Structure 1
Amino acid sequence: MLANSGEAAVERAVLIAAGRLSSGITHALLENWTRARGSGLWPRRRSLRPDQLLPLLPNLAILQIERAPLDFRYRLTGTLLDRQFGQCFTGVRASEIGFQTVGTAFWVLLSDTAQDALPQASTVSYIGTRGETRVAEMVSLPYSTDGMRVDQILIGLDFVPVAEV
Structure 2
Amino acid sequence: MKPDTVILESRNFRRTFLPLPPDPALGPNLLRVWSYWNELKGDLPGPPRNAIDPADLTSCLPGLMLMQPEGTPQRFRHRLAGTAAESVHGRPLTRIYIDEMQPESFARSVHADLTRVVEERTPQLARLSFENREGKPRQFESLRLPLSDDGERIDMILVYVRFRQG
TM-score (norm 1): 0.77
Separation in structure 1 between the aligned mates of residue 165 and residue 106 of structure 2, nearest angstrom: 26
Matched residue type, 1:18: P
Other-structure match for 2:139 = 135
Residue of structure 2 in register with 1:23 after alignment: 27
Match of 2:98 in 1: 94
| Equivalent residue runs for 1:43-82 within 5 Å | 43-82=47-86
| CA distance in structure 1 between the partners assigned to 2:51 and 2:164 by the alignment | 30
Residue 115, structure 1, aligned to residue 119, structure 2 = yes
The letter for the 2-side match of 1:152 is M
Q: What is the match of residue 10 of structure 1?
A: none
Q: Which residue number in structure 2 is paired with residue 155 of structure 1? A: 159
How far, CA to CA, are the matches of 1:76 and 1:116 in structure 2?
A: 23
Query: For structure 2, which runs of at least 5 residues remain unmatched after alignment?
Result: 1-17
What is the letter of the counterpart of residue 60 of structure 1? L
**1:128 positional shift:** 5.1
SS in 1 for 2:19: helix
Task: Out of 71-80 and 127-136, give the one that drifted further.
Answer: 127-136
Structure 1 unmatched ranges of 5 or more: 1-14
RMSD in angstroms over aligned alpha carbons?
2.5
Query: Of 140, 145, 148, which residue of structure 2 is paired with 1:144?
Result: 148
Q: Does 1:125 align with 2:129?
A: yes
**Equivalent position SS for 1:98:** coil
Structure 1 residue 148 displacement after superposition: 3.1
Change (3 A) 1:60 1:19: closer
What is the Cα deviation at residue 20 of structure 1? 6.2
Which is richer in helix? 1
CA 1:102–1:160: 2 relative to 1, 3 Å: closer
Residue type matched to 1:134 in 2?
A: R
Mapped to 2, the partners of 1:46 and 1:88 lie a distance apart of 24
> Which structure shows the bigger proportion of residues in strand conformation?
2
Q: Residue 79 of structure 2 aligns to which amino acid in structure 1?
A: R
Give, in angstroms, the shift of residue 129 of structure 1. Answer: 6.8
Give the TM-score taking structure 2 as reference length: 0.77
**Count of matched residue positions in the alignment of Structure 1 and Structure 2:** 148
1:88 Cα shift? 1.2
Change (3 A) 1:101 1:64: farther
